[in-house]
Structure 1
Amino acid sequence: MTEAKAGAAAGAAEPAFDRRLLPPMLLGSVLNPVNSTIIAVALVPIGRALGAPASQTAWLVSALYLATSLGQPVVGRLIDVFGPRRLFLLATGLVGVAGAVGALAPGLGVLIGARVLLGFGTCAGYPAAMALVRSEAERTGRDGPGGVLTALAVANQTIAVVGPLLGGLLIAVGGWRATFALNVPLALAAVLLGLLRLPRTRPAGGPVRHGGLASRLDLPGMALFAAMLVSLLLFLMNLHLRDWYLLLLSAAAAAAFAVRELRAATPFVDLRVLGGNTPLLATFGRALVAYTVAYAFLYGFIQWTEEGFGLTPFHAGLAQIPMFVLAIAVSIVSGRSTRVRGKLLLGAAGQIVACLLILTLSGDSPLWTLLLVALVFGVPQGLNNLALQNSVYFQADPGRTASSAGLLRTFAYIGSMVASSATAASFGQRADTGGLHRLAWVMLAAAVLGLLLTLFDRTLGRAAEPDTRTPA
């Protein structure tokens, strides 16, 4: 009896995750998905108000992801070096500024600029959250905080799916400008929570003196990474043979980046470690194809429900409720296990089934078929994000958790850029049923590729096993 009491007392004395960190972590991490998804139902009203076709309003999607794709790993590296607090506060403050600019924008050009600012401003939330999870795991000696990772995934999933509904409601009440103005109170709340809850930390490796900042951050490596990524994403935004030089520029920048990183004492992206981490590279590849399908559905399908099927923005968002409910339920249930292989297989299969269902839709389809497609998509929406997040947490070098999380988002956003380009090419001037079917074939090909990448990856049987890692 005495031993049992002693064991219970020891268990009670074990340090636990600091729950005070959860509010800023969750709010900061959802700033990007809320801006990614809320725009989906605003594209058509913005186009009508500003006289811009779908091929031009697609830049509102591309601009945010161009900025975020570049900013996530850069800010993630800064967080690895300096800690999450200062980067979190600076970036979330920028979100409020961007929201005000967008709400007052006189034209499409300024609106695109606001989306760029939003992209950079929302870069810090998710890498900061992952860095905090890692630091708390090291402090408590518990290397697998599955409940916290699940909470992050569920929060992001909730916002990603409820975003169109929220956007439709805001547009019905205050017009499309309200979808930008929403960022002002969200940013104020995030900054306040960050000031009150986030810990003050010293830079990793001690204070930076005598120009050591540049060498520690590898600014030339960051510049080459930016040149590589920007030229690639500009090519993907508008796929055309006349822009072949952008692809050549991206390849040249990639080669120079590789040479630089292999020689740098403190590289921005440690290619020697990353190159030897095949499981993590495979995870990045799966993220690219999984999010290509997810974002093509988010932007393409919802645009079609408005223009090809005739729903209002509010009802188009309302039609996504089945996906919202099922995705949250799937994330919560599957979050009890950190194993990822089964989640990824079922997620890819769910995307394939949903794409096949989209191919049966027309403007005369009954409403319940749209709800069925959304319901089926809820399964991969609830599984893929959680599985990919868990994979990175357990596969990445602990000292580069934030930058690895940023790279995961970068690959996801490259997938979103492919989806945006495919959506613009499929629809052209109007989101009709023929364009939806063309887009569905692209989505189906990506979903099949994701299934194959999972089936033939033998490392997944060992992924996300907390007991295989030694706590720091």
Structure 2
Amino acid sequence: MTALYLASAVAQPTAGKAAEVFGPRRVLVTGVVAVAAGGLVGGVARDLLTLLISRVLIGLGTSCAYPTAMLLIRKRAREAGMDQPPGLVLGGLQITGVATASLGLPLGGLLVGAFGWRAVFLVNLPVALVTLVAALAWIQADGPLRGRGVRDVATRLDLTGIAGFAAAMLALLVFLFELPTAHWWILAISVVLWVLDVLWELRASSPFLDVRLLAARPALTNTYVLFGLVMLCQYVVLYGLTQWIEAVRGYGESASGLLLLPMTLVSGVVIALVSRRNSVRGPVIAAAVTALAGSAGVLLLGSSAWIGLVAILTFFFGASTGFAVAGYQTALYAHAPPEQLGTASGLLRTFGYAGSIASSAITGVVFHQQVSDHGIHVIAWIMIGVSLVLTVLTLAEGTLRTHPAPPRA
């Protein structure tokens, strides 16, 4: 899982940067091929190292989808003479992402039960083949690559910046995944690497992580931070509640997955309704408030509580997810520079992964001894604290809007 998280967190903005340099269609097709290769390698794997390589390939490949899709949507909108695409276009992209992320676990369980664990990897082959055919048939070819040397490509991609970002992220991941044992020296290494990477990016002519852009466009920076906090709440629910349902209430994996299924359905409905308006401030406030309400509701859970309460709570968190992904994706589209939309889109996903990683660390620390009612209540108070911070920051935030103000010089 660490390999998958690292590959995805680094590959999302990297794929976006590559799509800005080489063209979104080329990067998307490369990603599809990587997914197919990862599925094949995993399907025939006979040791842990081969499985690790498979996970990395799948993580790298799937990371190409979102940033290239955003660039392709931007291109089509410009060709149609629109500043922004119809809301349902961005909404459809997010509904697809939420659905695949949420349905992957139960579908994977069905495949393992019916055909064995190798089916989870091999199923990527037909999916990748269909995607490849559709991409080649329906997506317009990128323009020609005019004689770019290796040095020019390396500079435009900012390979040094990518390597620094990956190293700093790896150190942070290792520190978080080792909790509750705190190796502070690993965190110190991560901090040093982040500082060095920022110093490099301030000098780079085509920075991978554009620090000056983030300083000049506070709305874009706030979009990343607030989205990461929302995803922290959502993933704590997914990880913490799932463990509690299985360990304390005695439900199996399939039953616990069904109890959380309304979260996916509600988020999809909310995205479809909210994305029509291409609005930002209303949805992000609603995301924070519903996350706070759902977090407070977790305090009502217990070994003797009505199990249907879990399904009710998932409605709150599903609504929060729907409001968040619709609002923050619209904010990203509005506030990111068009020529850097690929990297900016990838960074939004990276912050989402950061929330997921932090939530995994939280549940690991709280449930380190055992999964219990006390533990789920501790998680509830942590979620309430995070949600309160999110709500206050969202209400105080005044830069997020559908139509951005001119960036500061």
TM over 0.5: yes
Deviations 1:220-248 (A, max 9, x none): 12111212221122222223565212222
Alignment partner of 1:200 is 2:141: yes
Matched, 1:380 2:320: yes
Q: Shift in Å at residue 429 of structure 1?
A: 6.0
Aligned to 1:182: 123
Secondary structure of the residue that 1:156 maps to in structure 2? helix
Q: Deviations over 1:191-223 (max 9, x none)?
A: 22222222221368x541363111211211211
User: Any unmatched runs of 5+ in structure 1?
Assistant: 1-59
| 1:156 has 2:97 as partner | yes
> In the alignment, is residue 465 of structure 1 matched against residue 393 of structure 2?
no
Is the alpha carbon distance of 1:156 and 1:269 closer, same or farther for their aligned partners in structure 2, counting shifts above 3 Å? same
User: Over residues 381-400 of structure 1, what are the superposed CA-to-partner deviations in whole Å (9 max), with x where a residue is unaligned?
Assistant: 21111111111111001100
Alignment size in residue pairs: 405
**1:125 matches 2:61:** no
1:315-359 Cα distance to aligned partner (Å, 9 max, x none): 222222322332222111111111111111111111112122222
89, 95, 107: which one pairs with 2:35? 95
Aligned to 1:248: 188
Matches of 2:334 and 2:144, distance apart in 1 = 23
Residue 418, structure 1, aligned to residue 353, structure 2: no
Identity of aligned residues (%): 34
* Mapping 1:449-464, distance limit 5 Å: 449-460=389-400, 463-464=401-402
User: Is residue 392 of structure 1 aligned with residue 332 of structure 2?
Assistant: yes
CA distance in 2, matches of 1:66, 1:435: 28
Q: Name the aligned partner's letter for residue 425 of structure 1.
A: V
Would you say the 8 A contact 2:6–2:166 is kept in 1?
no
Give 2:386's aligned residue.
446
Q: Which residue of 1 aligns with 2:241?
A: 301
Deviation at 1:171, TM superposition (A): 4.2
Deviates more, 1:275-284 or 1:326-335: 326-335
3-state SS in 2 of match to 1:211 = helix
User: How is 1:160-309 mapped onto 2 (pairs within 5 angstroms)?
Assistant: 160-202=101-143, 206-209=146-149, 211-239=151-179, 242-309=182-249
CA distance change for structure 1 residues 199 and 100 in 2, over 3 Å: closer, same or farther? same
What is the DSSP-based 3-state SS (H/G/I as helix, E as strand, rest coil) of the residue aligned with 2:183? helix
Cα pair distance change 1:300/1:225, threshold 3 Å: same
- Helix, strand or coil at the partner of 2:394: helix
- Per-residue CA distance 1:272-301 (angstroms, 9 max, x = gap): 222211000001101111111111112221
Q: Is the 8 A contact 2:66 2:345 kept in 1?
A: yes
Question: RMSD across aligned C-alpha pairs, in angstroms?
Answer: 2.3
Residue number in structure 1 paired with 2:265: 325
CA distance in 2 between partners of 1:110 and 1:423 (Å) = 29
The counterpart of 2:309, out of the listed 366, 369, 373, is 369
Deviating more after overlay: 344-353 vs 195-204: 195-204
Greater Cα shift, 209-218 or 140-149: 209-218
Shift of 1:435: 2.9
Distance 2:202 2:141 in 1: 33
CA contact (8 A) 1:67 1:120 kept: yes
Q: 1:179, 1:305 → 2: CA distance?
A: 24
Alignment of 1:49-60 (within 5 A): 60=1
Instruction: Kindly indicate whether the alpha-carbon contact (under 8 Å) linking 2:179 and 2:364 is maintained by their aligned counterparts in 1.
Output: no
TM-score (norm 2): 0.91
CA distance in 2, matches of 1:210, 1:158: 39
SS in structure 2 at match of 1:371:
helix
Which amino acid in 2 is paired with 1:160? A
Q: Measure how far apart 1:103 and its partner are.
A: 4.3
Q: Shift of residue 125 of structure 1?
A: 0.2
Q: 2:347 & 2:308 partners in 1: Cα distance?
A: 38
- Asked whether 1:407 is paired with 2:347, we answer yes
Is contact 1:166-1:317 (8 Å) kept? no
